[in-house]
Amino acid sequence: MATQALINPQIVTWARQRAGLSKEDFAQKLGIKKVECVVEWEAGTSKPTFVQAQKIANATNIPFGYLFLVNPPKEELPIPDLRTIGNKHRNEVSVEMRDIIKQVMYKQQWYKEYLRQIGEEELPFVGRFTTKNTVYDVAQNIRGELGVPLPQKGSWEDYQRQLINAAENSRILVMRSGIVGNNTRRKLEVSEFRGFAISDKLAPVIFINSSDAPAARLFTLIHELAHLWIGSSGVSDLGNEHAEEEKFCNAVAGEFLVPEKEFHEMWNPLVSLLNNVVAISSRFHVSKLVVAKRAFDCNAIDSDTYREFYQREMKAFRRKKSSGGDFNITAGARNSALFSSAVVAEAMSGRILLRDAGSLLGIQPNKIKTYASKLAL
Map out the domains of the chain with their CATH numbers: 9-68 (1.10.260.40), 84-257 (no CATH), 327-375 (no CATH)
Reported confidence tier of residue 328, pLDDT bands at 50, 70, 90? very low
3 state DSSP class of 217: helix
pLDDT of 84? 62
Query: Do residues 281 and 291 lie in contact, with contact meaning Cβ atoms separated by under 8 Å?
Result: yes
- Long-range (24+ apart) CB contacts under 8 A made by 140-145 are 141/229, 142/222, 142/225, 142/226, 142/229, 142/252, 142/256, 143/256, 145/170
Phi first, then psi, for residue 84 (nearest 5°) are -140, 160
pLDDT of 239? 61
Predicted confidence (pLDDT) at residue 191 exceeds the cutoff of 50: yes
Residue 84 CB partners (closer than 8 Å, separation 6+): 90, 237, 239, 241, 242, 246
Predicted confidence (pLDDT) at residue 117 exceeds the cutoff of 80: yes
Q: How many CB atoms lie within 10 A of CB 199?
A: 19
3 state DSSP class of 345: helix
Reported confidence tier of residue 8, pLDDT bands at 50, 70, 90? very high
- Residue 1 exposed, middle or buried by CB count within 10 Å (0-12, 13-18, 19+): exposed
- H or E element that contains 187: strand 183-187
CA distances from 46 to 6, 9, 25, 222, 227 (A): 10, 9, 19, 53, 50
Higher pLDDT, 240 or 271: 271
Q: Looking at residue 72, what DSSP letter applies?
A: P
Higher pLDDT, 245 or 321: 245
3 state DSSP class of 281: helix
Please state the rounded mean pLDDT for residues 62-78: 85
Please give the mean pLDDT across all residues of the chain.
87
Q: What is the pTM of this model?
A: 0.81
The alpha-helical segments, DSSP class H, found in 149-287 are 156-169, 214-229, 244-257, 260-266, 273-284
Q: Looking at residue 195, what DSSP letter applies?
A: E
Higher pLDDT, 80 or 110: 110
